């Protein structure tokens, strides 16, 4: 991938057409802790949307509510205008919502391509008998899954790693494989939870160049949570800054960077650490 192609596919999102995801006045309490309080924001088709905030701000809880792992106490989640608040995780996946996690969860003893084939294979409508006797429908479905997996590996620049065991890869490549496995579900909305965790500066820069290309090539909308401010500011079209379970502000990277509340709550903390060190 050339620098020129990355420039064409990077910072220019598709035309904004409509709301894809709506988080409406969502609240969640764990015991005596108010994790989320009336959180609201919208993510539109084709954008890369960032969530930032200090540890404990509620970012991962927002992801858990959107993906269905945690039910909200109040509020609603809408996907393309339809309420999905009560739907289980697998139903949301079928609608087009996929997610990665901060803690890597690959099948370490499977190859990279096999890790990506599993989500495709799960969606195939085949029976046990067809699989057991290698019926044409079974072999055709497996070929489709393998082709889809290889196409994603090519996009993520992982083709050379296809036959390596996932456990043998360095963390930077494992992170990319996990993104590939989520993309194998053919999502409309991709939730990335700390994708730069454990990456060095070079790997983070490569990830930053890759995400806009994924958005452009696959037409997927991305919501990104990460503590690497340089990455978030570089790739996101809009950002919601959170603190103490609430959204402080939503805007472009430049607007959020200049917001005094964000500087005090998050960016200012980083600057203070740099001064102290």
How is the beta sheet containing 189-193 ordered, strand by strand? 97-99, 189-193, 221-225, 48-52, 238-243, 246-251
> DSSP class of residue 160?
G
Name which residue leads in pLDDT, 35 or 119. 35
| Domain boundaries for CATH 3.40.50.300 within the chain | 1-96+188-277
pLDDT digits (tens, 9 = 90+) for 100-149: 998 888 999 999 999 999 886 555 454 444 444 444 544 546 788 899 99
Q: Read off the tokens for 119.
A: 């989500």
Q: How far apart are CA 173 and CA 30, in angstroms?
A: 35
Write out 228-253 in H/E/C secondary structure.
Answer: CHHHHHHHCCEEEEEECCEEEEEECH
Q: How far apart are CA 139 and CA 120, in angstroms?
A: 13
Among 230, 180, 237, CA closest to 205 = 230
Write the CA distances from 242 to 154, 186, 246, 263, integer angstroms: 35, 29, 5, 12
Q: Is 133 exposed, middle or buried (0-12, 13-18, 19+ CB in 10 A)?
A: exposed
Q: Read off the tokens for 90.
A: 């697998």
pLDDT digits (tens, 9 = 90+) for 173-207: 999 999 999 999 999 999 999 999 999 999 999 99
pTM of the model: 0.84
Q: Per-residue b/e over 88-100, b at no fewer than 16 CB within 10 Å? A: eeeebbeebbbbb
Tell me, what's the pLDDT at 18? 80
Q: Read off the tokens for 132.
A: 């057991």
171 pLDDT higher than 80: yes
Give the phi and the psi of residue 228 in degrees, each rounded to 5.
Answer: -80, 100
What is the CATH code of the structural domain delimited by 1-96+188-277? 3.40.50.300
Mean per-residue pLDDT, 151-165: 96
Let me know: does 220 contact 186? Beta carbons within 8 Å: no
Among 84, 42, 23, 86, CA closest to 245 = 23
């Amino acid at each position: 991938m050339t620098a020129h192609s990355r420039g064409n596919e990077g910072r220019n999102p598709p035309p904004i057409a409509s709301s894809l995801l709506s988080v409406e006045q969502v609240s969640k309490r764990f015991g005596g802790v108010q994790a989320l309080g009336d959180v609201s924001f919208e993510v539109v088709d084709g954008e890369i949307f960032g969530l930032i905030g200090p540890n404990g701000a509620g970012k991962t809880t927002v992801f858990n509510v959107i993906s269905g792992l945690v039910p909200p106490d109040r509020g609603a989640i809408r996907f393309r205008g339809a309420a999905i608040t009560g739907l289980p995780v697998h139903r949301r996946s079928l609608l087009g919502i996929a997610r990665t996690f901060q803690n890597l969860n690959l099948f370490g003893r499977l190859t990279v391509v096999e890790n990506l084939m599993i989500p495709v294979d799960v969606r195939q409508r085949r029976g046990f008998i067809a699989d057991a006797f290698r019926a044409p429908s079974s072999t055709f479905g497996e070929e489709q899954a393998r082709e889809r997996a290889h196409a994603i590996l090519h996009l993520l620049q992982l083709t050379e790693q296809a036959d390596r065991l996932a456990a043998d890869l360095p963390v930077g490549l494992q992170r990319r494989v996990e993104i590939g496995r989520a993309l194998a579900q053919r999502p409309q909305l991709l939730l990335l939870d700390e994708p730069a965790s454990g990456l060095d500066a070079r790997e983070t820069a490569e990830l930053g160049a890759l995400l806009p290309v994924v958005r452009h090539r696959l037409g997927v909308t991305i919501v990104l949570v990460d503590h690497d401010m340089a990455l978030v500011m570089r790739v996101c079209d809009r950002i919601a800054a959170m603190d103490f379970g609430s959204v402080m502000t939503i805007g472009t990277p430049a607007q959020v960077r200049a917001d005094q509340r964000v500087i005090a709550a998050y960016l200012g903390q980083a600057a203070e650490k740099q001064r102290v060190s």
